[in-house]
C-alpha cells in the first residue's frame, strides 16, 4: 500500500525557524479520550501566530543554553509546522515506543505469543519508563533488529539503529517521530486495532514519575494543562557533548487530532557549583539541578508556543 508522507520532501527540514508546511490527510481513526488529572481554564488570546510563537520559544530556550526542535501535526486539518525537525538526536526512552510496537507486531503475526508478564513489561516500560522492562524486551526480541523493523514498516527515513546496540542510543528526528505517531494512529505500521489500543492506553496512563523517580511531567504534561486528552512518551539522557537531552512527545486532543514532538539539547548548568556529570545509564539523576533546569526549559517551550495551555 502506498504511504502518505506527512512531510513535504524535507521542506521544513533545514530551516531553523521554518514556516508551517501544508498538506492534506483524511483522518479516520478516533480513539477514546483520557481525562487529565488537572484542567486549567485560560481565556486569553495567544499573542502572535504559531510560527512567531515557535520562533520566540526557540530564542528563549537558546538564552537558557538549549537548542530546541519542535514538530506539530494537525491530523484533522492536514497541516504541519516545525522548527529544526530534521535535527538528529538520541531517542533515549522514547525508543520504548518502538520496542512495544515491534513486540506486539510480532505477536500479531504469530511469530510468538506474549506472556502476561511480557504485557506487564510493556505497560511498565511505557507508563513508568521502566528501563529494566525495556532491557528485558530489547534483549529477548532482537535488540537493534527491533528498530530496523519499525523503520521499515513505518518508512522512517532518518531513524537509525544505535551505534553500540544500546536502545537509548537509537537516533531519530522530530519529523520521523511525528511520522511514527501518525502511522501508529492510522494503522500504516501494521498494528491491528487491539494492539494499537494497548499502546495508546499505556501512553494515556503515563505516570508523573518514572520507576526510578525521575519527574516525567516536563514538556507536554505540564505545558498543556488545559488539554483533557493527552497520551505521552518522554525521554531524557545525559551527557552527550556535555548536554542534557529531553524529549517530550505525544498525541493531543479529541479524536487524537494533534501529534506534538519537542526536543531540547541543553548545556549542563550547575552555576558556580562543582558536580559530577549525571551519567543516566548509571544513575537516575532524580535530584540533579541541571536536569531540573533542562526540564523547565522544555515546559516553557510548550507554554510559549501554546500560551492557553492547549493547542486549539
Q: Is the peptide bond before 238 cis (omega within 30 degrees of 0)?
A: no
Grid coordinates of 94: 522514547
Q: What is the pLDDT of residues 140-174, one digit of tens each?
A: 999 999 999 999 999 999 999 999 999 999 999 99
Q: What is the pLDDT of residues 188-221, one digit of tens each?
A: 999 999 999 999 999 999 999 999 999 999 999 9
Which pLDDT does position 286 carry in this prediction? 76
Query: Residue 13 above 50 pLDDT?
Result: no
What does pLDDT average to over the chain?
Answer: 86
pLDDT confidence band for 278 (50 / 70 / 90): low
Q: Which of 43, 71, 4, 72 is nearest to 253 (CA)?
A: 72
For the sheet containing 21-22, what is the strand order?
A: 21-22, 79-83, 66-74, 258-267, 243-252, 230-240
Higher-pLDDT residue of 2, 162: 162
Q: What is the pLDDT of residues 16-28, one digit of tens each?
A: 333 333 333 344 4
21-305 in CATH: which number? 3.40.710.10
Query: Residue 12 above 60 pLDDT?
Result: no
Strands of 46-168 (E only): list them: 66-74, 79-83, 89-90
> What is the model's pTM?
0.83
Amino acid at each position: 500500500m502506498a504511504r502518505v508522507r506527512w512531510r513535504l520532501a524535507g521542506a521544513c527540514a533545514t530551516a531553523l525557524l521554518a514556516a508551517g508546511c501544508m498538506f492534506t490527510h483524511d483522518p479516520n481513526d478516533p480513539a477514546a479520550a483520557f481525562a487529565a488529572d488537572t484542567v486549567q481554564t485560560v481565556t486569553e488570546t495567544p499573542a502572535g501566530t504559531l510560527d512567531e510563537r515557535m520562533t520566540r520559544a526557540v530564542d528563549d530556550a537558546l538564552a537558557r543554553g538549549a537548542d530546541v526542535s519542535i514538530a506539530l501535526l494537525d491530523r484533522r486539518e492536514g497541516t504541519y509546522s516545525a522548527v529544526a525537525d530534521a535535527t538528529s538526536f538520541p531517542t533515549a526512552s522514547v525508543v520504548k515506543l518502538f520496542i512495544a510496537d515491534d513486540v506486539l507486531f510480532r505477536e500479531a503475526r504469530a511469530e510468538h505469543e506474549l506472556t502476561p508478564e511480557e504485557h506487564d513489561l510493556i505497560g511498565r516500560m511505557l507508563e513508568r519508563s521502566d528501563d529494566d522492562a525495556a532491557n528485558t524486551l530489547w534483549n529477548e526480541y532482537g535488540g537493534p533488529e527491533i528498530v530496523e523493523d519499525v523503520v521499515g514498516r513505518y518508512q522512517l527515513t532518518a531513524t537509525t539503529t544505535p551505534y553500540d546496540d544500546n536502545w537509548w542510543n537509537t537516533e531519530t528526528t522530530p519529523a520521523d517521530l511525528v511520522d511514527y505517531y501518525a502511522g501508529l494512529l492510522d494503522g500504516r505500521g501494521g498494528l491491528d486495532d487491539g494492539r494499537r489500543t494497548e499502546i495508546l492506553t499505556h501512553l494515556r496512563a503515563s505516570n508523573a514519575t518514572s520507576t526510578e523517580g525521575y519527574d516525567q511531567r516536563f514538556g507536554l504534561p505540564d505545558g498543556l494543562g488545559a488539554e483533557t486528552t493527552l497520551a505521552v512518551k518522554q525521554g531524557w539522557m545525559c551527557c552527550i557533548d556535555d548536554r542534557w537531552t529531553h524529549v517530550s512527545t505525544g498525541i493531543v486532543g479529541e479524536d487524537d487530532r494533534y501529534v506534538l514532538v519537542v526536543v531540547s539539547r541543553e548545556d549542563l548548568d550547575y552555576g558556580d557549583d562543582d558536580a559530577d556529570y549525571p551519567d543516566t545509564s548509571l544513575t537516575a539523576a532524580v535530584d540533579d539541578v541541571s536536569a531540573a533546569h533542562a526540564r523547565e526549559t522544555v515546559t516553557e517551550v510548550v507554554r510559549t508556543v501554546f500560551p492557553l495551555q492547549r493547542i486549539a
